[in-house]
C-alpha cells in the first residue's frame, strides 16, 4: 500500500493530483471533506468561547467530537481510494491464458470493482453526515464564524456530488441487472437528494442568523 497522502505536504499532494492517475476526484473530495469537518469543529469551539453563547456546552463538545471523528474517517477514505484503485489495476493484470485463469480474473476484477464503488459511497455517506452536523451547529454558531460554517456545508455538498460521480463511474462497469447495481444506484440517488436539501437548509438557517445579527448591530 502506498504511503499515506497525509504524510506529504499540501504542495506535494497538489502535484500528485496533477500527475495522476491517483489521487483523483474521490480522494480530493475526501480531503476537502476532512478539512470542511475541521471547520465545523472550529466554528463550535469559537462559538462556545463567546460570552453570549446560548447553546448546551456539553452538546457542543459532543458535536466537536463527532466532527473530528468524521474528519479522521475522511482521512482514511482518501488513502483507501488510492489503495483501492491500485488493487483494481492489479486485477486487470492477472493472467487470462486459460479458462480457469479468466474465471479467477473475472472474480477478482468484480470484487475489486465492488470495493472501488463502495468506498466513495461510504465517503459520500460521511460527507452527508457532516452536512447534518452543520445543520445542527447552525442554530448555535456565532455570526462571526457563520460564513465558515456555510463554507463547510458547501464544501461537503460539493464532495457528496463528486463522490457520487465516482460511484456512477464505477457502477457503469458493473452488470446493470445485478442486485449490487440496483442497490447502489438507488441509495446514491436518495443520498444526493437528501444531502442537497440539507445543505440548502443549512445555508437558509445561517442566512437567518446573519440577518438577525445585522438587525441588532449599531450603525457605525
Instruction: Return the domain boundaries, the chain.
Output: 24-216
- pLDDT value at position 219? 59
Sign, CA torsion 93/97/98/102: positive
Fold of 24-216: 1.20.120
- pLDDT value at position 212? 85
Sign, CA torsion 137/138/142/146: positive
Per-residue pLDDT averaged across 133-153, rounded? 96
- pLDDT value at position 218? 60
Written in H, E and C, the secondary structure of the chain is: CCCCHHHCCHHHHHHHHHHCCCCCHHHHHHHHHHHHHHHHHHHHHHHHCCCCCCCCHHHHHHHHHHHHHHHHHHHHHHHHHHHHHHHHHHHHCCCCCCHHHHHHHHHHHHHHHHHHHHHHHHHHHHHHHHHHHHHHHHCCCCHHHHHHHHHHHHHHHHHHHHHHHHHHHHHCCCCCCCHHHHHHHHHHHHHHHHHHHHHHHHHHHHHHHHHHHHHHCCCC
In this structure, the chain runs to a length of 220
Per-residue pLDDT averaged across 82-103, rounded? 94
Q: How confident is the model at residue 175 (pLDDT cuts 50, 70, 90)?
A: confident
Q: Is the peptide bond before 23 cis (omega within 30 degrees of 0)?
A: yes
Please say if the pLDDT value at position 47 is more than 80.
yes
Percent of the chain exceeding pLDDT 70 equals 97
What's the start-to-end Cα distance of the chain, in Å? 58
Per-residue pLDDT averaged across 176-193, rounded? 93
Per-residue pLDDT averaged across 88-105, rounded? 95
Please say if the pLDDT value at position 54 is more than 70.
yes
Per-residue pLDDT averaged across 146-165, rounded? 97
Reading the block at residue 136, the C-alpha cell is 445542527
Please say if the pLDDT value at position 2 is more than 80.
no
Candidates 72, 39, 38, 45; CA nearest to 60 is 45
- pLDDT value at position 20? 85
- pLDDT value at position 97? 94
**Cα-Cα-Cα-Cα dihedral of 164, 166, 168, 174, to 10°?**
-130
- pLDDT value at position 3? 80
- pLDDT value at position 183? 93
Please say if the pLDDT value at position 213 is more than 90.
no
- pLDDT value at position 1? 52
CB 26 within 8 A of CB 168: no
Determine how many CB atoms are found less than 10 A away from the CB of residue 89: 12
Amino acid at each position: 500500500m502506498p504511503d499515506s497522502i497525509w504524510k506529504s505536504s499540501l504542495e506535494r499532494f497538489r502535484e500528485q493530483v496533477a500527475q495522476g492517475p491517483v489521487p483523483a476526484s474521490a480522494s480530493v473530495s475526501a480531503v476537502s471533506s476532512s478539512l470542511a469537518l475541521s471547520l465545523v469543529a472550529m466554528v463550535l469551539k469559537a462559538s462556545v468561547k463567546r460570552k453570549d453563547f446560548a447553546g448546551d456546552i456539553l452538546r457542543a463538545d459532543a458535536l466537536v467530537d463527532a466532527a473530528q471523528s468524521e474528519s479522521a474517517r475522511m482521512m482514511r477514505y482518501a488513502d483507501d481510494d488510492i489503495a483501492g484503485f491500485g488493487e483494481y489495476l492489479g486485477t486487470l493484470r492477472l493472467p487470462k491464458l486459460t479458462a480457469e485463469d479468466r474465471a479467477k480474473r473475472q472474480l477478482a476484477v468484480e470484487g475489486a470493482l465492488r470495493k472501488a464503488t463502495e468506498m466513495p459511497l461510504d465517503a459520500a455517506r460521511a460527507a452527508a453526515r457532516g452536512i447534518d452536523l452543520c445543520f445542527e451547529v447552525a442554530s448555535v454558531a456565532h455570526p462571526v464564524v457563520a460564513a465558515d460554517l456555510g463554507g463547510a456545508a458547501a464544501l461537503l455538498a460539493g464532495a457528496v456530488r463528486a463522490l457520487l460521480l465516482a460511484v456512477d463511474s464505477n457502477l457503469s462497469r458493473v452488470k446493470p441487472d445485478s442486485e449490487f447495481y440496483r442497490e447502489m444506484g438507488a441509495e446514491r440517488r436518495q443520498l444526493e437528494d437528501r444531502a442537497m436539501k440539507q445543505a440548502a437548509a443549512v445555508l437558509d438557517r445561517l442566512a437567518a442568523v446573519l440577518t438577525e445579527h445585522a438587525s441588532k448591530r449599531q450603525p457605525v
